[in-house]
Amino acid sequence: MINVKICVYGLVQGVGFRYCTKIVADQLEIAGIVRNQNDGSVYIEAQGTITQVKKFIAKIKDSPTPSGRVERITVKELPVKEYHGFKVTY
């Protein structure tokens, strides 16, 4: 089990990015959170098996919403936490 912090930059706010990210997370059985940041980026914490998290990151890089455009992402490993599903937070 791994937990990562993902910061996503590009056209990722106001295009349904967070809600589409939740759909992808639910499909891959990823736990964690997603929220908008004041700088226009999206912050994600994603926890699952290494395989699940790698698949999740690949889908995020391609933008889970057709209206969005991901220019770059950063990924950093975090300590494992106790999540209950995947939530859109504010």
From 3, 35, 36, 38, active-site residue: 36
In this structure, what DSSP letter does residue 89 have? Answer: -
From 3, 18, 35, 38, active-site residue: 18
Q: Is 3 a catalytic residue?
A: no
For residue 59 the two structure tokens come to 């889908």
- Give the C-alpha separation, 32 to 46, whole Å: 5
In degrees rounded to 5, what are phi and psi of residue 79? Answer: -65, 150
Q: Hey, what's the torsion of the CAs at 71, 29, 23, 13, to 10 degrees?
A: -30
Q: Is 36 a catalytic residue?
A: yes
Residues marked as catalytic: 18, 36
